[in-house]
Structure 1
């Protein structure tokens, strides 16, 4: 709408189809996206590399995209959309201490924070919990080194934490089954290793070797 403010129509000039956002004059999704980026400023803040460049299954990347946009059905969102289907917004089924929101569930919940802490401890990194899960995605952590392997595995491990936490949350609500943090961590290690194993960066590395020592397989 802001771009249309400066547009002046002249009744004396015949109508014609023209798309000024591209050099060819024809519409393209890419040129439209770049035009929106120029006006809104939001894509610069969005962790697109973390979401779309990670070597994980597409359905997982799509879910992370929803998390980054805070569009998943956490209790605070359900309370707004479908109150009759929501649990109490003051209850997080993982910690039973605080309200469930995207930032709490995937970052600030005591169970989730413990999983993040374990990942950073494995990488020998000191960290301070960011304000939001988007900030967490945007910070460039070279936990397993700056090599291609290190970046692929770090993104896979970070994504696996978010994915496993969501699965556990749903399992507790809909199936009334609970896993402890040790079992959750085992699932994270397996998924991250499997996703990395399927990437080109780890071609030729056996899966069992990858699972045993992340730091060793990422070292130059």
Structure 2
């Protein structure tokens, strides 16, 4: 409303990207004590020093905000303009995306959400899809780690530690996937991204195997990530064979809990899981 219908984050997108409080309310930026019928005082919090272009944009933004009149006795709140009540809902957002001819509706949500794995595991996949897993490459780009620090993969020490590399393409990780493929007698070419790998687990492993790979795939991603963090923060290295065994056991417990197995013999599952499949 301040910019005749234009949203501040769209008008000043580069400043929004550098904000340390992207979802803050007005009260977190506006200094009420300084507002006594004079020029109001605004504090814009950013995560890094502004470039020359962004400094100019910041001056433009502050000039606009200086004309804004705030009611200090009224508490501000987040308002979603697509709803008459101002409250956000996923169902309404999906409906608007379907009605929009220009919306590029992602298909990955149906692969991740609603799966029969713990919520923390599903959340890690959601972060992976959004390239938000804090691997070395991400931490350095966000200036959380110094640029002088190595961004190489902790396992192979050959390539940059991106989330696709760490979880899929690293030599050490690739051997884990190969062990699991052999376990299910599956022959598969690892795709270029973790997102495509998600589709393989759900739709490409065959009817009999896919319902189990919906568990095995997420369990493997989660186990690799935990092993990486345990090595980085605690200096503990886990043997690949032990990690694969842990993945098999975890998926067995999940499968039994979901009544996907016709037996409770874990030793059979560890060697030939197809014998327990319905």
* TM class, shorter-length: 0.7 to 0.9
Q: Taking CA–CA contacts closer than 8 Å with sequence separation of 6 or more, which of the two structures ends up with the larger relative contact order?
A: 1
**TM superposition shift of 1:186:** 0.9
Matched, 1:104 2:162: no
Matched, 1:196 2:255: yes
The equivalent residue for 2:103 is 40
In the alignment, structure 2 segments of 5+ residues that lack a partner are: 7-80
**TM superposition shift of 1:211:** 4.0
Residues 214 and 54 of structure 1, relative CA distance in 2, 3 Å threshold: farther
Larger radius of gyration: 2
Q: In structure 2, how many angstroms separate the alpha carbons of the residues matched to 1:197 and 1:86? A: 47
The answer to whether the 8 Å contact 1:55/1:196 transfers is: no
The equivalent residue for 1:10 is none
The answer to whether the 8 Å contact 1:197/1:207 transfers is: no
Q: In structure 1, how many angstroms separate the alpha carbons of the residues matched to 2:188 and 2:148? A: 32
Residues 85 and 159 of structure 1, relative CA distance in 2, 3 Å threshold: farther
The answer to whether the 8 Å contact 1:89/1:100 transfers is: no
Q: Kindly provide the CA deviation profile for residues 98-154 of structure 1, in whole angstroms up to 9, marking residues without a partner as x.
A: 110010011001111111112222222222221111111122222xx514xx43321
Q: What TM-score do you get using the length of structure 1 for normalisation?
A: 0.76
CA RMSD of aligned residues (A): 2.8
Question: Which one has the bigger helix percentage?
Answer: 1
Q: What TM-score do you get using the length of structure 2 for normalisation?
A: 0.61
Matched, 1:165 2:224: yes
Equivalent positions of 1:170-185 (< 5 A) are 170-185=229-244
The equivalent residue for 2:129 is 68
The answer to whether the 8 Å contact 1:92/1:105 transfers is: yes
Residues 56 and 74 of structure 1, relative CA distance in 2, 3 Å threshold: same
In the alignment, structure 1 segments of 5+ residues that lack a partner are: 6-18
